Amino acid sequence: MKPLQIGPITVGTPVVLAPMAGVTNAPFRALCRRAGLAGLPDGSPALQTPAPAGLYVAEMVTSRALVERTPESMRIISHDQHEAVRSVQLYGVDPATVGAATRMLVEEDRADHIDLNFGCPVPKVTRKGGGAVLPWKSELFGAIISAAVRATEGSQVPVTVKMRMGIDADHLTYLDAGLRAQDAGVAAVALHGRTAADHYSGTANWDAIAALKQAVTDIPVLGNGDIWSADDALAMVEHTGCDGIVVGRGCQGRPWLFTDLVAAFSGSPVRRRPGLRDVAEVVREHAVLMVEHFADEGKALRELRKHMAWYLKGYVVGGSVRQAFGMVSSLAELDERLAALDLDQPYPGQPAEGPRGRAGGPREPHLPHGWLESRDLDEELRGLLQHAELSISGG
């Protein structure tokens, strides 16, 4: 498959790590990036591009927090020296604030690529009119992306958009939003084939991705949703015609999925099937990177806990052992627990693959009062949006 062109940035392999709150910090991105490079065959033309094995996007950060330079927002946008393309995802509901945050990233040389979040379905975001429900207010959506694009003028920093299909099946926005984004000058759009109401339930609608690809013809269209394996990624491209894929939950506890993805897009049959000893080595490496990143061993290990069930999925370790790993508090304790495992276990196959985390069922989106009455904003909703970012995590 041909490289992915995001504005001036050539991505040798059309694979993107989706930003995930509390997951895609610098240590996890490093693991995924290294795994991706391992999937490239020697002499691959992709090795000559700035991003040979894909783009790896940082956790979402709120534009307001970034403008205010909160310590957490500055940590979120930190990148290590090996990240050739520094990708940052911004969340915002106010065009002026999003523009200011974008300008800061550009003028202070803190990002090479900026993605705008219009895909988050969680209630604390949607009840304020943000994330996946914001494109319903089409004028506001256009104003936000236009402000971001204007803030990058004269630079080599492209702006992209990640979104969902809409609020629910009766309030779809993705075709209109994709065309507006294209007209505003964004470099690419990514679509998660679910609505806000779907949350992470059911099956992603790849037909919607295909429809967006047919409608948006001047910029790349990326597909997201239900990519649990390299075969899934190839199937999505075949089904939709999309220009690249975005991977989220499928790589949780499996950074080596990027080895498979990059190999598959390079036409290689290489697939990584780690035994438990290999998994333990990755867990230890992850822990060390986390300690370096946070400069606080206790905090680093607490942050690592959420990953443990994902890493151990499918391996025979027992419920009490899984629980103990979910309470680990130091590198010494982690080493002790890893050493006690039956590390000679081979790769368990399907039990270690597939969906991870809690998908749950469909959920009625939490919306501001009167949100669906019109696609325009009234003064009451404008006032609400001025305060919408204050209680949102991600900076």
* Residue 325 CA to its chain's centroid (Å): 25
The one-letter code for the residue type at 390 is L
Answer yes or no: are the C-beta atoms of 40 and 262 closer than 8 Å.
Answer: yes
CATH of the domain at 35: 3.20.20.70
User: Per the structure, how many domains does the chain have?
Assistant: 2
State how far the Cα of 221 lies from the Cα of 190, in Å rounded to an integer: 6
pLDDT of residue 388: 64
Amino acid 360: pLDDT: 73
pLDDT at res. 354: 84
The catalytically annotated residue of 32, 120, 242, 251 is 120
Q: Is residue 61 part of a domain?
A: yes
- Does residue 302 share a domain with residue 256? no
Q: Are residues 204 and 312 in the same domain?
A: no
The verdict on 208 and 289 lying in the same domain is: no
Same domain, 265 and 289: no
Locate 154 and state its tokens.
């004269």
Last residue in a domain, options 306, 324, 347:
347
- Is residue 387's pLDDT more than 70? no
Is residue 89 located within the same domain as residue 225? yes
Asked whether residue 244 is domain-assigned, the answer is: yes
Do 246 and 301 lie in one domain? The reply is no
pLDDT digits 0-9 by tens, 15-65 = 999 999 999 999 999 999 999 999 999 888 888 898 999 999 999 999 999
Is 9:113 a contact under the CB 8 Å cutoff? yes
Q: What is the DSSP string of 148-175?
A: HHHHTTTSS--EEEEEESBSSTTSB-HH
Sole residue written with tokens 């037909």? 207
* Full residue range of the structural domain in which residue 89 is found: 4-272
Segment 127-146 shows an average pLDDT of: 95
What local confidence, expressed as pLDDT, does residue 389 receive?
63
**Pair 75, 68: CB distance under 8 Å:** no
The radius of gyration computed from the CA coordinates of the chain, to the nearest angstrom, equals 20
Residue 390 has a pLDDT of 56
- Pair 309, 265 in one domain: no
Together in a domain, 295 and 235: no
At 280-294, the pLDDT tens digits run 999 999 999 999 999
pLDDT tens profile 90-133: 999 999 999 999 999 999 999 999 999 999 999 988 988 999 99
Question: Would 130 be classed as within a structural domain?
Answer: yes
Q: Is residue 374 a part of any domain in this protein?
A: no
Q: Rounded distance, CA 301 to CA 329, Å? A: 5
Same domain membership, residue 61 and residue 210: yes
Is 145 part of any domain?
yes
Indicate if 32 belongs to the active site. no
The answer as to whether 357 is a domain residue is no
For residue 361, name the pLDDT band (cuts at 50, 70, 90).
confident
Number of continuous H segments (helices) and E segments (strands) in the chain = 15, 10
Are residues 267 and 280 located together in one domain of the fold? no
